[in-house]
Structure 1
Amino acid sequence: MSKFFRTLLQRSYLALIAIPFKLMPSLAYMAFTGQGSTAQLCRHMARQGIRKVLVVSDKPLVSLGIVARAVDVLTEEGVSCTIYDGILPDPTFGMVDAGLALQAQYDCDAVLAIGGGSSIDCAKTIASAATNGRDAKKLVGYFKVKQAPLPLFVLPTTSGTGSEATIAAVISEEKTHEKCFIADPKMLPKAVALDADLLLGMPAAITAATGMDALTHAIETYISLWGTDTSDGYGYASVKMIFEHLPRAYRDGSDAVAREQMAIAAYYSGMAINDAGVGNVHAIAHQLGRYYSTPHGLANALVMPEVLRFMAKAAQAPLAKLGRLIEVAGSSDSDQQAADKFIEAVADLNRRLGIPEQLDTLREEDIPAIAAAAVKEGAGYPVAILMSRNECQTILRTLLSSSESAAALA
């Protein structure tokens, strides 16, 4: 099928599925920020009549005492807490089922996610499945959450995924590692706390990867075909904040101001996703996570510069605006020059944050299958230009290690 007809088919599909998104009511909920916002959120939960909460997190956050900061306040407020700390990166339906079993055993009437995107996505799915037949796999797709989920509250401990602000969750199949999407406005949390105190001391590598994840969301929503004034405003602000504050947070993990600004930037970019979706960067990054368990933020960071180069002409005007926003381009630059300068600024930010330019685990023999899956996924996103398999393979080959590239040419 020619690219013209593939594009025509994609635009028709996007126009159809955009209808319910455009008809959604404004997605707004309570957000607490600043020092002490963890306690504010917990007291808010108690005031809402919550009495038994399932806390969804991971073992490291329990060991570090992060989870206890919330549990102690909830306990003081008379709320009983059941801790489920079985979350690992790229949560699976098995993890969801384990959380559902605990929720049923202790009759929990709400869910609190404490952690990064994996914990938040798993908590969203547990809360939704608990009131919708308890089979999470039946919720895969758009608008499958018929009954209101259990009340969901979120304490993000990374500044990247934006899951605390989105209407979607990503859960993986155990055997195939395929990433499955569940999206419904009912999945939006009731309240969130953006507490910089939970982010202090985050390792530099995680700060870099999660921060570039947030930047990917901000850029992809800003150049999306579905962009709205609202999503553009969030994406625009997020890009500016990330370029200013991510290097600071990376250099000094105890910089509370930079941490708080990054938390807000990630929240903004998550809000933008609700209107504008994501794009080709995510389409490829999801496959790298599936094949090699590459952390999602790192995968996005690795892929983004080359994908933006591929999209530079189709998304030239918005990319040029971003170039002028972060002041790497001036009024005398043409849109093409400004867009190119912005893309190079993204690549330079990767380098400043210690993001590698190659993915050592990537294998030449896997590239055709990865590209086929990425092209299929990307066709469902509101991207300005579709990738062909050959174009996607070319992008992927820029990530090959020098030894793997030499072996492929031999």
Structure 2
Amino acid sequence: MYKLYCRSFQQVMKATAFFLPWREPQLIDGINSLAELPVFIQHEGIETVLIVTDKGIAATGLMDSFLDGLRNKGIKFVIFDKTVPNPTIDNIEEALQLYKANSCQGLVAFGGGSPIDCAKGVGARLARPNKTIPQMKGILKVNKKMPPLFAVPTTAGTGSEATLACVVSNSETHEKYALMDTALIPHFAVLDPLLTVKLPKPITSTTGMDALTHAVEAYIGKSNTKQTRQWSIDAVKLIFENLYEAYSNGENIAARTNMQKAAYLAGMAFTRAYVGNVHAIAHTLSGFYNVPHGLANAVILPHVLDYYGESVHERLAELADAAGVCEPSDSTREKATKFIQAIKDLNEKMDIPSRVDCILDSDIPLMAERAIQEANPLYPVPQILRKEDMDKLIRTIGA
């Protein structure tokens, strides 16, 4: 009965999705496309904008030319640079007060997934001023227009510039959860590969594997469509062709461009087809131990795919063909096995560990419970897992 309930809920959500007010961000892409952003902000009639970023980005000088462009257009700006990895409710509330105190009219999220999520959280609070972030947890709790949001990703992984999700951490309870609403999809997305060429290798690798996780989970789930399947296939192909090159040779603009495109396509796929149990475990791992989201996904992905067994072989075989990691004559099982092994090999080549050593036995029951609460009934996963399944997987990941 429990599985029937979950599947019924997922079918209703899939049917409902056809009637939601989806939008795609207006893309501003290509080399030096960041220079065009002030013009778009000006066209929106914005006189003062809040820039949400983090101290690392602020210190690199990546924003300097953009800030000069805003000054040249007479656009005032205020910078919130206190975003932490896995942004907290406190981050959002502090940025919100800065927005209000300076009478801002729009938001620029500049950085990785954390600043983009923080900015989305600010937008949600502005759209629903009488609701707290915890009150908007879950599906379609915003449902109001928020100010223009311009997303400028500096990594190629989260796909947050294309998604309806805003992931938030509660620093007191160690809970990590998502707000999901089409109102949170950014209005504009800037994909400038020059912003990613100086990324440290560990960030290039883990954010790239984050994008791969998005594409794979969207593809193997039961709420995918012809469109989301194509986005996922294209993303997987681009990632296997370009991630290791971007990791090994960060100055390769073509590889960086293709990884940005892959992350965006994977974001487009999973924001409509959802993620799955990999993310449910990754979010609780990040919530308890502050493990970076991309690293958590990279470690967890092959373990969960192995656990699914035959239920995902057909889909993984199709992805193996797209990734070019198998022979046409291989059986479905052989292709699926080779795809999972290719993920493990890619992780190993980029020095991503196969397990994490931070998990405490005493935390596992609560971690498993929270992972189940996130996954079920929402995620249209290949297999509905129970708490005991999550417990086993978490122990395997932490072994």
Instruction: Indicate the TM-score class for this superposition, using the shorter chain for normalisation.
Output: over 0.9
2: CA distance, partners of 1:362 / 1:125: 29
Aligned equivalent of 1:114: 110
Asked whether the equivalents of residues 237 and 322 of structure 2 are also in contact (C-alpha less than 8 Å), the reply is yes
Aligned partners of 1:128 and 1:150 also within 8 Å? no
2:237 aligned to 240, 253, 272, which one?
A: 240
Residue 323 of structure 1 corresponds to 320
172, 180, 202: which one pairs with 2:199? 202
2:220 pairs with 1:185: no
- Structure 1 pair 78–30 and aligned structure 2 pair: CA distance change class (3 A): same
Matched, 1:77 2:79: no
Q: How many residues align?
A: 397
Aligned-partner residue type, residue 274 of structure 1: T
In the aligned structure 1, how far is the partner of 2:261 from the partner of 2:255?
10
Q: Give the Cα–Cα distance (whole angstroms) in 2 for the partners of residues 314 and 72 of structure 1.
A: 53
1:141 deviates by 2.2
SS in structure 2 at match of 1:322: helix
Residues 224 and 384 in structure 1, CA contact (< 8 A), matched pair in contact too: yes
How far the C-alpha of 1:25 sits from its partner, in A, is 4.0
1:18-37 equivalences under 5 Å are: 18-37=14-33
Distance in 2 between residues matched to 1:290 and 1:48, nearest whole Å: 37
* Pairing of 1:74-153 with structure 2 (within 5 A): 74-133=70-129, 135-137=131-133, 138-153=135-150
Unaligned runs of at least 5 residues, structure 2:
none
Letter in 1 for 2:396: T
Hey, what does 2:395 align to over in structure 1? Answer: 397
> What amino acid maps onto 2:245 in structure 1?
R
Q: What letter corresponds to residue 113 of structure 1 in structure 2?
A: A
Q: CA deviation at 1:90?
A: 0.9
User: Contact conserved, 1:125 with 1:136, CA < 8 A, in 2?
Assistant: no
Q: Residue 41 of structure 1 contacts residue 192 of structure 1 at CA under 8 Å; is this kept in 2?
A: no
Query: Structure 1: which 4+ aligned runs deviate by more than 3 Å?
Result: none
Q: Normalization by structure 2: what TM-score?
A: 0.96
Aligned residue identity for 2:290: S
* Pairing partner for 2:304 from 307, 321, 326: 307
Q: What is the CA deviation profile of residues 364-390 of structure 1, one whole-angstrom value per residue up to 9, with x for unaligned ones?
A: 332233222222322221101012333
Pick aligned residue for 1:344 from 341, 345, 368? 341
Kept after mapping to 1: 8 A contact 2:155/2:207 = yes
2:383 alignment partner, SS class: coil
Q: In structure 2, what is the equivalent of residue 261 of structure 1?
A: 258
| Separation (CA, whole Å) in 2 of partners of 1:370 and 1:26 | 33
1:62-93 CA-partner distances (Å, limit 9, x unpaired): 11111223221111111100111110011111
Return closer, same or farther for 1:354/1:108 CA change in 2, 3 Å cut-off: same
SS of the residue corresponding to residue 178 of structure 2 reads strand
Q: Which residue is equivalent to 1:404?
A: none
Task: Tell me how far apart the structure 1 counterparts of residues 328 and 192 of structure 2 sit (CA, whole Å).
Answer: 38
CA–CA separation in structure 1 for the residues paired with 2:386 and 2:44: 50
The 5 Å alignment of 1:214-233 reads 214-233=211-230
Larger RCO (CA under 8 A, 6+ residues apart): 2
Question: 1:313 deviation in Å?
Answer: 1.2
Measured against aligned partners, the alpha-carbon deviations of 1:22-67 in whole angstroms (never above 9, x if no partner) come to 2124422310111111011221111221111000001111111112
For residues 313 and 65 of structure 1, what CA distance do their matches in structure 2 show? 49
Give 2:246's aligned residue.
Answer: 249
User: What is the percent sequence identity of the aligned residues?
Assistant: 38
Determine if contact 2:25/2:162 at 8 Å carries over to the other structure.
Answer: no
- Structure 1 length as normaliser, TM-score? 0.94
1:219–1:239 contact (8 Å) kept in structure 2: yes
What code does the residue aligned with 2:268 have?
A: M
- What CA distance in whole angstroms lies between the structure 2 residues aligned with 1:308 and 1:168? 23
Indicate the residue corresponding to 1:372 in structure 2. 369
Q: In the aligned structure 1, how far is the partner of 2:18 from the partner of 2:312? A: 22
Look up the match of 2:286.
289
User: Letter of the aligned partner of 2:371 in structure 1?
Assistant: A
Read off the aligned partner of 2:163 and give its amino acid letter.
T
Cα offset, 1:395, TM superposition: 2.1
Return the match for 1:46 from 42, 50, 58.
42
Say whether the 8 Å CA contact 1:93–1:136 is kept in structure 2. Answer: no
C-alpha distance in 1 between matches for 2:14 and 2:105: 33
SS of the residue 1:321 aligns to: helix
Q: How far apart are residue 271 of structure 1 and its match? A: 0.5
Question: Are the aligned partners of 2:303 and 2:397 in contact in 1 as well (CA < 8 Å)?
Answer: no
- Report the Cα distance in structure 2 between the residues aligned to 1:134 and 1:201, rounded to whole angstroms: 41
**8 Å Cα contact 2:242-2:258 kept in structure 1:** yes
Is 1:57 aligned with 2:53?
Answer: yes
Alignment partner of 2:41: what SS? helix
